[in-house]
Amino acid sequence: MRIVIAEDLLLLREGLVRLLTGTGHEVVAAVASAPELEAAVAAHRPDLSIVDVRLPPGFRDEGLRAALAIRRREPRTPILILSQYVERVYAAELIADGNGAVGYLLKDRVTALDEFLDAIERVAAGGTAMDQEVVRQLFARNSGDRGVAALSAREREVLGLVAQGLSNSAICAALTLAPASVDKHIGNILTKLDLPPARDSHRRVRAVLAYLNQ
Partner 1 sequence: MVRRAGRAVAHLVTSVVAGPFVFAWALATTLVSGLLSFTYLAPPVFLGATWVTRRVATVERLRAGLVLGRRVEAPYGPAPRTHLWRRGRALVREPATWRDLAWCVLALPSGLVGLAGLIATAVDLGLVLAPAWLWSVPNPYLPAAVDWMFNTVGGRFVLTVAGLALAPVAWWIVTTLARAQATVAAALLEPGPRQRLARRAAQLADTRRRVVDAQAAELRRIERDLHDGAQARIVAAGMTLALAQRQLGGQPAGAEVATARRQLDEALAELRRLVRGIHPPILTDRGLVAALAALAGDAPLPVAIEAGELGPLSPAVESAAYFVAAEALANVVKHAGASDCAVTIACDGDLLTVEVRDDGRGGADPSGSGVDGLRRRVEALDGTLSVTSPVGGPTVVHAELPCGS
Smallest distance from partner 1 to CB 214, Å: 10
Query: If binding is defined by CB under 8 A, does position 147 make contact with partner 1?
Result: no
- DSSP β-ladder status, 26-31 and 79-83: unpaired
Q: How far is the CB of 152 from partner 1 (least distance, A)?
A: 19
Longest pairwise C-alpha distance within the chain? 50
Minimum CB–partner distance for residue 184 and partner 1 (Å): 28
Helical H segments across 5-86, by residue range: 10-22, 34-44, 62-73
Closer by beta carbon to partner 1, 43 or else 113: 113
Using CB under 8 A as the binding rule, whether residue 85 contacts partner 1 is answered as yes
Alpha-carbon distances, residue 112 vs 65, 91, 115, 141 (angstroms)? 27, 21, 6, 27
Please tell me the distance from the alpha carbon of residue 37 to that of residue 52, in angstroms, as a whole number.
10
DSSP string computed for 127-180: -EEE-HHHHHHHHHHTTT-HHHHTS-HHHHHHHHHHHHT--HHHHHHHHT--HH
The torsion region of residue 178 among left (phi > 0), alpha (psi -120 to 50) and beta comes to beta
Of the ranges 39-47, 85-93, 185-193, 194-202, which one interacts with partner 1 (CB under 8 A)? 85-93
DSSP label at residue 57: T
Q: Does 84 bind partner 1 (CB under 8 A)?
A: yes
Dist CA 63 CA 54 (whole Å): 6
C-alpha distances out from residue 104 to 148, 151, 186, Å: 23, 25, 23
| Ranges within 28-67 binding partner 1 (CB under 8 A) | 53-54, 59-61
CA angle 80/81/84 to nearest 5° reads: 140
Count of residues touching partner 1 (by CB under 8 A) = 34
Residue 16 interacts with partner 1 (CB under 8 A): yes or no: yes
Which residue, 101 or 211, is less far from partner 1 as judged by CB? 211
Verify binding: residue 9, partner 1, rule CB under 8 A: yes
Report, in Å, the least distance between residue 178 CB and partner 1.
Answer: 27
Residues between 86 and 125 that touch partner 1 (CB under 8 A): 87-89, 92, 106-108, 110-113
Min separation Cβ 156 and partner 1, Å: 15
Tell the smallest beta-carbon distance from residue 200 to partner 1 (Å).
28
Q: Does 21 bind partner 1 (CB under 8 A)?
A: no
Binding interface with partner 1 (CB under 8 A):
9, 11-12, 15-16, 18-19, 22-23, 53-54, 59-61, 84-85, 87-89, 92, 106-108, 110-113, 137, 140-145
